[in-house]
Amino acid sequence: MNGKSPIRRGLGRGLDALLGADREAPPEEARDVAPVGRAQLALPVANIRPGRLQPRRRFDAEEVEALAKSIREKGVLQPILVRPIAGESGMYELVAGERRWRAAQQAQLHEIPALVRELTDRDTLEVALVENLQRQDLTAIEEARGYQRMIDDFRRTQEDVAEVVGKSRPHVANTLRLLTLPLPVQEMLEDGRLTAGHARPLVGLEEAERVAGRVVAGGLSVRETERLAQRVREGGWASLEGKRSSGERGAGRSPDIVELEHDVSERLGLIVQIKAKGESGEVTIRYKSLEQLDDLLAKLRR
């Protein structure tokens, strides 16, 4: 395609084509204010700001701490990518490498190796998307929002987006459809309770939120989720009632208790078990991560 910028040609070959070239050390006098060029420079960590167009919103604290430990021992092995901030001499905006920058701060480094480029907003978003996708750092919802922003803000078509990020057009289209899910289901995707495979069968489903709650509570597989969603499409939510297996109900268990378990599980998005002993009993809530526990505590406080 004629008229492609060097950035977009670099994206087509992968980020290494953009970030891996010309990493020679700069002369000492170039270390204070970085010129826009191909050389790798040492920039003050404090002179770098997070990217406005960064599609990734969540950074795992344990991953950042592990990277900070590695940086303390071995230094930053790959430079970050930044662009100058217009009107602010010596200040730069992150384009790629925010986790490395955060870890460098945590490791108390004063400088970090960086490549400085003059990039448009469109190029900046595309580079950030490709970097995160190559490292599989984005949730499906973050990926979808990045695609949607390329389409809305920069007049890209789905075909354009697919070419830039190296995905198929059906993948881009299916990912974008996740943005039509109810916000509570999108939150389950963002915090890892659901995968994209679990969420796709719920697109367009009127009872998507209730089905998602049951999927999370029951720890269902993608195939089981597909079957569950199909039953709801064909017969509505009522088609699920009274059709639970005898194993699910449990021998001698009250149907009311079983129903209450499912109701609470759906509301919390976690597996809940209720053991009744006369007028007393026990309620057990299972969580798989500290994030899920934090969400549970926040809901209980409300």
Is 115 found in the same domain as 11? yes
Using alpha carbons, select from 56, 61, 96 the residue that is nearest to residue 80.
96
Is 109 found in the same domain as 50? yes
**Residue 118 maps to a domain:** yes
pLDDT of residue 99: 87
Given the residues 93, 98, 126, 266, the one annotated as active site: 98
Report pLDDT digits (tens) over 183-201.
999 999 988 889 999 999 9
Rounded CA gap, 156 and 121, in Å?
13
Count of beta carbons in the 10 Å neighbourhood of residue 289: 11
pLDDT of residue 148: 93
| Res 27 pLDDT > 50 | no
Is 80 found in the same domain as 154? no
**Residue 194 maps to a domain:** no
Mean pLDDT of the 263-292 span: 77
Is 31 found in the same domain as 67? yes
Is 91 found in the same domain as 20? yes
Work out the pLDDT band at 28, boundaries 50, 70, 90. Answer: very low
Burial 96-134 (b: 16+ CB within 10 A, else e): bbbbbbbbbbbbebeebbbbbbebeebbbbbbbbbbbbe
Rounded CA gap, 204 and 290, in Å?
31
**Residue 102 maps to a domain:** yes
Instruction: Decide: pTM greater than 0.75.
Output: no
Mean pLDDT of the 217-246 span: 77
The token pair at 144 is 């979808």
Mean pLDDT of the 153-176 span: 90
**Residue 254 maps to a domain:** yes
Report pLDDT digits (tens) over 93-132.
999 888 899 999 999 999 999 999 998 988 888 888 887 7
Count of beta carbons in the 10 Å neighbourhood of residue 92: 21
Instruction: Please indicate whether residue 190 is annotated as part of the active site.
Output: no
Is 149 found in the same domain as 119? no
**Residue 153 maps to a domain:** yes
Rounded CA gap, 114 and 39, in Å?
9
Rounded CA gap, 252 and 280, in Å?
17
Tally the domains of the chain.
Answer: 3
Using alpha carbons, select from 95, 94, 89 the residue that is nearest to residue 33.
89
Is 59 found in the same domain as 26? yes
CB within 8 A of 283, min separation 6: which ones? 264, 272, 273, 274, 275
**Residue 203 maps to a domain:** no
Rounded mean pLDDT of the chain?
79
- Of the spans 7-21, 198-212, 261-275, which averages the highest pLDDT? 198-212
What CATH number should be reported for the domain holding residue 106? 3.90.1530.30
Is 79 found in the same domain as 161? no
What does the H/E/C string look like for 31-80? Answer: CCCCCCCCCEEEEEHHHEECCCCCCCCCCCHHHHHHHHHHHHHHCCCCCE
Is 164 found in the same domain as 114? no
The token pair at 223 is 């195939």
**Domain span at residue 170?**
139-177
**Residue 188 maps to a domain:** no
Out of 44-48, 54-58, 180-184, pick the least confident.
Answer: 54-58
Is 146 found in the same domain as 62? no
Is 289 found in the same domain as 254? yes
Is 157 found in the same domain as 72? no
pLDDT of residue 54: 80
| Res 21 pLDDT > 70 | no
